[in-house]
Amino acid sequence: MSISTPGGPERRPTVVSTGKKPAAGRPAAADKPAGGKGGSGKGTPRQTSGGKGRKPVAPVKVSQGRSWGPIALFVAVGVLAAGIVGWGAWAVYKGSQPWEERADSIKGVVDYRKTNKDMVKGGQHQQGSIKYEVLPPVGGPHNPAWQNCMGDVYTAPIANEHAVHSLEHGTVWITYRPDLPADQVAKLKAKVEGKEKLMLSPYEGLDKPISLQAWGFQLKVDNADDSRIDEFIKTLRVNASIEGPNANCAQGVTATGTTPRDMGNQMDQPVTQ
């Protein structure tokens, strides 16, 4: 039995199953016009609402190269962080060392406490000129009067005999050749002036432009910008005293000149600051 239509008898389309479920929003296979095998005729192309065919989908391009900028930045930050942590750990370790070990770790320092113990026994007061084995001296017999060491800056040489007594009290004595350029002297002055247990003076005959002395220790350097100067001061000032941290630095000799002065029985007792 056929149904007559204005265009002729209606034909039922053949349904071809694909075995797949229709995607949401798409018509089922039964609703599609036949275009495969088993159909009674050629299928009609699927039309869009505008009567045009579907636009081809552009392929997605995948980048094959790596972006090295962020990676390099990440690595650099990691290295910097590791360096900061490492430096902090080293600083803590250094700070926990005994001051004698820290002093010996300063490059170029000479520790006469190890190489010449008799020279740095201390406590031997005597009047008059004294001959020293090491110049500038770092210990040994000395005048009963100490050189004033309250951050004093002397513009002329001072007597070894008074200066050694100041070293015994924990002073760092910085000396320099008289021909050291003025800007270098100014830098040394800035490190010393007004700071207790530090003093500065020119010294004839130095084999290096600058020489630093503490009781039993010496360091010679070429210029005032050398970072070891600050390290020497930080490590040995006060610590190198063999009379304790409260040994007096005030009320000492303030005069210059290389001939020691007989000050009589100057008070030489530790005082509480």
Bridge-based pairing of strands 210-214 and 172-176 is: antiparallel
Which of 167, 112, 155 is closest to 256 using CA atoms?
A: 155
Write out the two tokens for 261. Answer: 């002065």
If DSSP codes are grouped into helix, strand and coil, which group holds residue 257?
strand
Token pair for 148? 């004033």
Q: What structural domains does the chain harbor?
A: 110-236 (3.40.30)
**Coil, helix or strand for 120?**
helix
Q: In what order do the strands lie in the sheet with 150-153?
A: 110-111, 217-221, 210-214, 172-176, 198-202, 150-153
Q: Could you read off the pLDDT tens digit of each residue along the chain, which spans 273 residues?
A: 554 555 555 555 555 555 555 555 555 554 555 554 544 445 555 555 555 566 666 666 655 666 777 877 778 787 777 777 665 654 555 556 899 999 999 999 999 999 998 888 877 899 999 999 999 999 999 999 999 999 999 999 999 999 999 999 999 999 999 999 999 999 999 999 999 999 999 999 999 999 999 999 999 999 999 999 999 999 999 999 999 889 999 999 999 999 999 876 554 443 333
Whether pTM > 0.85 for this model: the answer is: no
